[in-house]
Chain A
């Protein structure tokens, strides 16, 4: 077993990366179950597919968390997570 101490894993970061990996697996399964994935134009006026919407959701989530940490320092991060989920729902529905 290789020594991975230099990677400095913590349970929290492991859960974080596992969640992203799980999202990718879920997207693959979604693609298998419902292959209809034609590009569509939403409120941003750009053609997006599911993968683009996931990318936008993750990028938005990252910036929402940064803004939360920068502007509302001290408040629990669950608020940022909740906001990110709402944003992701909006992206998948309207973008």
Chain B
């Protein structure tokens, strides 16, 4: 008789408990709130799908979602190629490696609110280095009043803060490529571009998948930095979903609509993350995958 040792389940118990208390129970509570109304004191009134209808029909929600998508698209379009480019040009051996790695890691060690504060001061026309320099060059830059300048500042800040992550991931992928690949390419007379296209890029695919997913999810959920730098302004120009959500839940104490918005926000992130993951890993694994249509004559 075949015996199965089930003791391993106890090893995953701590993780299950952690996920349960940090993710599942809060998520269930948000779902419960999204179909009710409350005025505090744990007194709730059934509202059905009212809050979902309200959120889905509000221009405020769609505008914030559009801003989020645009921000993530810009961030990914800049940070991924830039990160790979920097990683390709970093030294592979010698004392320069440690210097580069430390320099790259520095922005990642700074807390989000500090990054926001740094850039809030940095961009100011009166005392900030960036704002003052641009003004001295005759460029009309004011992130407090101009939506384009506010976006420029936020994108620049995010690129400064997070490109390092892509660099470190890509660098880790690059140093793991065996020298034999480069030697073979050299014997074949492959150009620099060909080496990148046929050796480095395929070998980087997995780490880039992680980089894209991490940067997408992080940029899509961005809150602290824009809140500190622009506070969502000027007007609503940089009001992303997370800022809008906090305003609704904490500022206005509209817990029902905020919960409905949270659920929709969560579903959008889940869908887009799944699409990214699927597209980027569709050629990985499952080598034995069976395609019934290919069997047909």
Which residues of A does B touch, CB under 8 Å?
5-10, 12-13, 16-17, 38-42, 45-47, 55, 59, 62-63, 66, 69-70, 73, 77
Contacts and interface: CB of A to CB of B under 8 A. Distances in A.
A5 B30 CA distance: 13
B53 A66 contact: no
B57 A40 contact: no
A77 B32 contact: no
A73 B270 contact: no
B278 interface: yes
B270 A59 contact: yes
A63 B271 contact: yes
Contacts of B49: 69, 77
A70 B53 contact: yes
A7 B292 contact: no
Interface string B278-296: 1000100110111111000
B125 interface: no
Nearest to B278: A46
A55 B264 CA distance: 17
Contact of B282 (A6, A45, A70): A45
A66 B270 CA distance: 14
**10 A-B pairs with least C-beta separation:** A47-B289, A47-B286, A70-B56, A41-B291, A39-B286, A8-B32, A39-B289, A5-B42, A40-B290, A8-B44
Contacts of A38: 288-290
B71 to A, nearest CB: 22
A70 B267 CA distance: 15
Interface in B29-56: 29, 31-33, 35-36, 38, 42, 44, 46, 49, 52-53, 56
Contacts of A40: 289-292
Contacts of B291: 40-41
A50 B44 CA distance: 38
Nearest to B34: A13
Contacts of A42: 292
Contacts of B57: 70, 73
A71 to B, nearest CB: 9
B25 A7 contact: yes
14 contacts: A6-B29, A7-B29, A8-B29, A8-B38, A8-B44, A17-B31, A39-B290, A41-B289, A46-B278, A47-B285, A47-B289, A59-B271, A66-B56, A77-B49
Given A40-B290, A41-B291, A69 B56 contact: yes
B187 interface: no
Contacts of A9: 32
B35 A10 contact: yes
Contacts of B253: none
A6 B270 CA distance: 26
A74 B57 CA distance: 13
A39 B46 CA distance: 43
Given A8-B29, A59-B274, A62-B267, A69 B288 contact: no
Nearest to A11: B46
Greatest chain B CB density within 10 A among A5, A16, A66 is at A66
B33 to A, nearest CB: 6
Contacts of A41: 289-293
Contact of A10 (B36, B52, B264): B36
Given A8-B38, A10-B36, A73 B267 contact: no
Interface in B247-297: 264, 267, 270-271, 274, 278, 282, 285-286, 288-293
